[in-house]
A = this chain, B = another copy of it.
């Protein structure tokens, strides 16, 4: 009755001397995602990026980079090891592996400590947790700065990225997402994405009994949105939104718009080289903030927010 919406995330950048990843055949990608216990549902492409919608989230492939997100009880770490071994560790310029705050960590087949022990047999890196264990927290592993034979770093900074995790959604859209009458187009229209992402190409999928995934690409830019309405007792609803758009110059306040749509009782932001903009947020309290600068010079910020008013809890009978 429970589905873990919280994603694990893998980002790998190759060294510059490699053939484009986008030339690899379908079988490579289907095997990769199968390692994580996921499968490919559909693909959209443009000249810079291929976006795969998966049974459990998303895969984006650029010439020299992949981004793989998986939710549920997926084994993303197996996909990471498969990719490193298939490409050869000497061709990995940078790797970043994340686990978001899970509702039920004890139901996962591995924990972050297991995952990084496995990763470190292949590639060195720093791992850390930001956030207390009894509140929202996130795990991150980043490879050490790797250098080419000419002494130049293999990868400079990470791209910009923003991850928004929303917990316990409410309001009109949340109600619609729990209703049996929901449709793919119904959700898409209510999200109003055509307005805030006017030049994007979209791919989406409605899951049974509930759930909605969407990928969008425009050149090398991507957005991805995954909705896990609550199944079973208690409200474990979860929505994630992620993009590499630079929000400091993007003409729409995307984060505020998402929070307005889903009305989560709490939400987290993880920013990679992104400035913070809270304009348009509902009345809130920032419960916690943490930041770190990686060896590669990437500034990572974590913020945990909750709506300002006390949340009235209903007992969940078990």
A contacts, CB < 8 Å to B: 101-106, 108, 111-113, 116, 126-136, 139, 167-168, 234-236, 265-266, 285-290, 292, 302, 306, 308, 310-318
Q: Shortest distance in angstroms between A238's beta carbon and chain B's nearest beta carbon?
A: 9
Chain B CB within 10 Å, residue with most, of A105, A139, A265, A316 = A316
- Copies of the polypeptide in the assembly: 2
Contact B134 A317 (CB under 8 A): no
Cβ of A106: which chain B residues have Cβ within 8 Å of it? 105-106, 108, 111
Partner of A103, one of B133, B236, B306: B133
User: Would A130 and B315 be within 8 Å (CB), given that A135-B266, A287-B306, A287-B310 are in contact?
Assistant: yes
Cβ of A314: which chain B residues have Cβ within 8 Å of it? 290
Contact A292 B315 (CB under 8 A): yes
Contact B290 A313 (CB under 8 A): yes
Cβ of A236: which chain B residues have Cβ within 8 Å of it? 132-134
Contact A317 B128 (CB under 8 A): yes
Cβ of A266: which chain B residues have Cβ within 8 Å of it? 134-135
User: Which residue of B is nearest A104, CB measured?
Assistant: B133
User: Would A127 and B318 be within 8 Å (CB), given that A101-B134, A285-B285, A287-B306 are in contact?
Assistant: yes
Given contacts A103-B133, A105-B106, 18 further A-B contacts (CB under 8 A): A102-B134, A103-B134, A106-B106, A106-B108, A127-B318, A132-B167, A132-B313, A133-B236, A134-B167, A134-B266, A285-B308, A285-B310, A287-B306, A288-B311, A288-B313, A289-B312, A289-B313, A290-B315
Cβ of A285: which chain B residues have Cβ within 8 Å of it? 285, 308, 310
Cβ of A306: which chain B residues have Cβ within 8 Å of it? 287
- Shortest 9 CB-CB distances between A and B: which pairs? A290-B313, A106-B106, A128-B315, A127-B318, A288-B311, A103-B133, A286-B310, A129-B316, A292-B315
CA A110 to CA B103, docked complex, whole Å: 17
Contact B103 A105 (CB under 8 A): no
User: Which residue of B is nearest A136, CB measured?
Assistant: B134
CA A236 to CA B132, docked complex, whole Å: 7
User: Which residue of B is nearest A300, CB measured?
Assistant: B315
Chain B CB within 10 Å, residue with most, of A101, A235, A318 = A318
User: Which residue of B is nearest A133, CB measured?
Assistant: B103
CA A316 to CA B129, docked complex, whole Å: 5
User: Would A128 and B318 be within 8 Å (CB), given that A106-B106, A134-B103 are in contact?
Assistant: yes
Contact A312 B286 (CB under 8 A): no
Contact A132 B317 (CB under 8 A): no
Cβ of A104: which chain B residues have Cβ within 8 Å of it? 133
CA A106 to CA B105, docked complex, whole Å: 6
Partner of A129, one of B111, B139, B234, B302: B234
CA A105 to CA B311, docked complex, whole Å: 23
Q: Shortest distance in angstroms between A218's beta carbon and chain B's nearest beta carbon?
A: 32
Contact A130 B317 (CB under 8 A): no
